[in-house]
């Protein structure tokens, strides 16, 4: 086989592997693919100015490149199918030509042939294509391997540095650890904070939202500044009691991008303590607010309410509406998780919040539907009548939904029964194969025990008669063959 020499090939692969932090096998695969693209370019350039490109996109799918690290070179190989008459010289080869070398070759077999062009014939365009493809493949492999590291990270919060801006997204550089190369991550507009000032080389704490495959771009990192997980991470870093396990974060409700610009970002955090002597709210706030202030600074002034979690839904709802003062909480519909909260007139606007933000976050935090009511104007009789009507409507909807699900289940069962009946009447080919396989698995019937004891196989008279008839028929057939 012809070998195109590449002096220093082994050292080249080792240097690239060390520089790009990639395994040698990955570099070799990228080089093979790049050389194959260069060969494809070489073949296409032969038709430049003569005719249109006759090759389809997957025309060279049966070609491959073999690297010889011992002799430091490469070969281009083509897998061809043995046929009677050749229609494509690049994919087929005549059986007469193959049998000159291998007499036992058969039509349909595959042979691998050396089709390496001379180094001088490779051309500048093909060499440039090889270089470009190699650089691109190495970048893709490097990015893919680094992003696989991010997919397995235990700590989803990273330190990111602003690189550039694309449309409304911010492109940031993140690293999976000390000494590891940086990789680009995208911070979409919806995951940015309104108080952030994104300028070149500015650093931020970001939450690794997902590692997804983007068409024509490969794996891509998406980070977020608005994810509630970022708040949890910041509190875990600032509060030793959370790290030790004596204080735990039960729930987080965050509105980092309010629907109106007149409303600022806000977060509510519900905490609880495992030990009775530990105050979870005080532990998170710290002396003179020192701990929570670090979290607020990292989130660029976002307002944070730390409230105490309670097993009692009424108490939990009252706490969640902090800083408003609550007079009473009526759990009017426990099954539907609906509550009426009675507050003094001067606390009404504070409990609702600007554009309803406070009660909205409290509802998300607790999972209850919360109605804020003026305690001085609250009419329990009329409110109970309204609630009773709502409960009746909810129960009716649940009943209708249950009936619809039951009808759907019945229809599916009837359809399955009809399909089984039809398959029994008109079996599919695979059903017949399964049945045949079942017969084979059963095997032949066991011989009679008494016959085995006598040393004679069990056979009926009918079977013996059939055997005689078959023997006679075989004898007649042999005699006829001899006469012919």
Q: Quick: pLDDT tens for 307-343.
A: 999 999 999 999 999 999 999 999 999 988 999 999 9
pLDDT digits (tens, 9 = 90+) for 79-99: 999 999 999 888 999 999 888
In a domain, 33, yes or no: yes
Q: Percent of the chain at pLDDT above 70?
A: 83
Q: What is the rounded CA–CA span in Å between residue 189 and residue 196?
A: 12
Q: Confirm if 142 and 155 have CB atoms less than 8 A apart.
A: no
pLDDT digits (tens, 9 = 90+) for 34-68: 999 888 888 888 877 666 777 888 889 999 999 98
- Say whether both 167 and 123 belong to one domain: no
Q: Which of 36-40, 138-142, 166-170 has the lowest mean pLDDT?
A: 138-142
Which of these three, 141, 173, 204, is where a domain ends? 141
Which of these three, 196, 224, 252, is where a domain ends? 224
Q: Which domain holds residue 126?
A: 4-141
In a domain, 366, yes or no: no
Instruction: Determine the pLDDT at residue 458.
Output: 43
Q: Which of 7-21, 127-141, 147-161, 281-295 has the lowest mean pLDDT?
A: 147-161
Q: What is the rounded CA–CA span in Å between residue 87 and residue 182?
A: 51
CATH number of the domain to which 18 belongs? 3.30.1480.10
Which of these three, 120, 141, 162, is where a domain ends? 141
Q: Average pLDDT for residues 424-452, to the nearest whole number?
A: 56
- Say whether both 61 and 109 belong to one domain: yes
Nearest to 45 by CA among 129, 119, 116: 129
Q: Ranked by mean pLDDT, which of 56-65, 182-191, 280-289 comes out on top?
A: 280-289
- Say whether both 94 and 183 belong to one domain: no
Q: Confirm if 247 and 286 have CB atoms less than 8 A apart.
A: no
- Say whether both 77 and 131 belong to one domain: yes
pLDDT digits (tens, 9 = 90+) for 209-266: 887 766 656 567 899 999 999 999 999 999 999 999 999 999 999 999 998 888 999 9
Q: Do the bridges between strand 303-308 and strand 328-333 make them parallel or antiparallel, or are there none, so unpaired?
A: unpaired
In a domain, 88, yes or no: yes
- Say whether both 87 and 177 belong to one domain: no
Token reading at 245: 């396990």
Q: Which of 6-10, 327-331, 356-360, 444-448 has the lowest mean pLDDT?
A: 444-448
CATH number of the domain to which 157 belongs? 2.40.50.140
Nearest to 146 by CA among 171, 174, 183, 177: 183
Instruction: Determine the pLDDT at residue 233.
Output: 94
In a 13 Å sphere around the CA of 340, the CA atoms on its Cβ side amount to 16
Q: Which of 13-17, 128-132, 298-302 has the lowest mean pLDDT?
A: 128-132
Distances (CA, A) of 98 to 79, 90, 106: 13, 15, 9
- Say whether both 130 and 213 belong to one domain: no
Q: What is the rounded CA–CA span in Å between residue 17 and residue 8?
A: 14
- Say whether both 129 and 58 belong to one domain: yes
Q: Which of 43-47, 389-393, 422-426, 432-436 has the lowest mean pLDDT?
A: 432-436
Average pLDDT of the chain? 83
Q: What is the rounded CA–CA span in Å between residue 358 and residue 347?
A: 12
Instruction: Determine the pLDDT at residue 450.
Output: 41
Q: What is the rounded CA–CA span in Å between residue 22 and residue 146?
A: 10
Instruction: Determine the pLDDT at residue 349.
Output: 93
Q: What is the rounded CA–CA span in Å between residue 194 and residue 225?
A: 10
CA angle (50, 52, 54) in 5-degree steps: 115
- Say whether both 190 and 104 belong to one domain: no
Instruction: Determine the pLDDT at residue 123.
Output: 60
Q: Confirm if 306 and 296 have CB atoms less than 8 A apart.
A: no
Q: What is the rounded CA–CA span in Å between residue 69 and residue 6?
A: 9
Q: Confirm if 182 and 158 have CB atoms less than 8 A apart.
A: no
Instruction: Determine the pLDDT at residue 456.
Output: 44
Res. 198: pLDDT tops 60: yes
Cis peptide before 73, with omega less than 30 degrees from 0?
A: no
Instruction: Determine the pLDDT at residue 452.
Output: 38
- Say whether both 79 and 167 belong to one domain: no
Q: Average pLDDT for residues 196-201, to the nearest whole number?
A: 91
Instruction: Determine the pLDDT at residue 482.
Output: 43
- Say whether both 101 and 217 belong to one domain: no
Q: Which of 197-211, 278-292, 435-449 has the lowest mean pLDDT?
A: 435-449
- Say whether both 110 and 37 belong to one domain: yes
In a domain, 467, yes or no: no
Instruction: Determine the pLDDT at residue 218.
Output: 59
Instruction: Determine the pLDDT at residue 413.
Output: 93
Q: Which of 117-121, 170-174, 245-249 has the lowest mean pLDDT?
A: 117-121
In a domain, 249, yes or no: no
In a domain, 162, yes or no: yes
- Say whether both 158 and 196 belong to one domain: yes
Instruction: Determine the pLDDT at residue 480.
Output: 44
Q: Confirm if 391 and 333 have CB atoms less than 8 A apart.
A: yes
Nearest to 368 by CA among 331, 421, 397: 331
User: How many domains does the chain fold into?
Assistant: 2
In a domain, 71, yes or no: yes
In a domain, 356, yes or no: no
* Own/partner long-range contacts of 281-290 (Cβ < 8 Å, ≥24 apart): 281/306, 281/307, 281/308, 283/239, 283/241, 283/242, 283/246, 283/247, 284/235, 284/239, 284/242, 284/247, 286/238, 286/239
């Amino acid at each position: 086989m012809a070998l195109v020499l590449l002096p220093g090939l082994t050292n080249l692969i080792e240097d690239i592997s060390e520089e790009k932090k990639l395994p040698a096998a990955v570099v070799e695969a990228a080089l093979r693919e790049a050389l194959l693209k260069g060969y494809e370019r070489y073949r296409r350039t032969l038709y430049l100015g003569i005719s249109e490109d006759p090759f389809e996109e997957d025309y060279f799918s049966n070609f491959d490149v073999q690297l010889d690290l011992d002799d430091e070179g490469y070969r281009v190989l083509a897998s061809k199918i043995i046929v009677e008459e050749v229609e494509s010289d690049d994919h087929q080869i005549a059986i007469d030509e193959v049998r000159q070398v291998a007499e036992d070759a058969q039509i349909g077999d595959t042979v691998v042939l050396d089709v390496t062009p001379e180094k001088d014939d490779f051309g500048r365009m093909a060499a440039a294509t090889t270089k470009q493809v190699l650089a691109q493949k190495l970048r893709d492999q490097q990015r893919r391997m680094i992003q696989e590291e991010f997919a397995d990270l235990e700590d989803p919060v990273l330190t990111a540095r602003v690189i550039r801006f694309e449309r409304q997204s911010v492109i940031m550089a993140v690293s999976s650890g000390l000494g590891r190369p940086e990789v680009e991550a995208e911070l979409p507009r919806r995951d940015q904070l309104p108080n952030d000032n994104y300028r070149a080389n500015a650093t931020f704490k970001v939450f690794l939202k997902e590692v997804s495959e983007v068409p024509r771009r490969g794996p891509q990192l998406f980070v977020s500044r608005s994810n509630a997980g970022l708040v949890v991470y910041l509190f875990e870093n600032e509060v030793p009691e959370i790290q030790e396990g004596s204080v735990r974060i039960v729930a987080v409700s965050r509105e980092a991008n309010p629907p109106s610009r007149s409303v600022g970002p806000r977060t509510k955090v519900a905490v609880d303590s495992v030990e009775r002597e530990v105050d979870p709210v005080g532990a998170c706030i710290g002396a003179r607010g020192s701990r929570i202030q670090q979290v607020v600074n990292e989130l660029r002034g976002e307002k944070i309410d730390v409230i105490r979690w309670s097993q009692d839904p009424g108490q939990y709802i009252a706490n969640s509406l902090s800083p408003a003062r609550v007079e009473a909480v009526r759990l009017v519909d426990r099954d539907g998780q609906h509550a009426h909260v009675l507050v003094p007139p001067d606390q009404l606007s504070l409990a609702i919040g600007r554009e309803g933000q406070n009660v909205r976050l409290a509802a998300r935090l607790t999972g209850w539907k919360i109605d804020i009511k003026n305690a001085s104007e609250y009419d329990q009789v009329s409110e109970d009548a309204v609630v009773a009507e709502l409960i009746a409507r909810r129960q009716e909807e649940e009943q209708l939904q249950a009936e619809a699900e039951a009808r759907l289940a019945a229809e599916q069962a009837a359809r399955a029964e009809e399909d089984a009946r039809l398959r029994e009447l008109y079996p599919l080919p695979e059903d017949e194969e399964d049945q045949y396989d079942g017969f084979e698995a059963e095997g032949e019937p066991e011989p009679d025990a008494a016959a085995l004891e006598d040393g004679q196989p069990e056979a009926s008279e009918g079977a013996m008669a059939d055997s005689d008839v078959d023997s006679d028929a075989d004898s007649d057939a042999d005699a006829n063959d001899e006469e012919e």
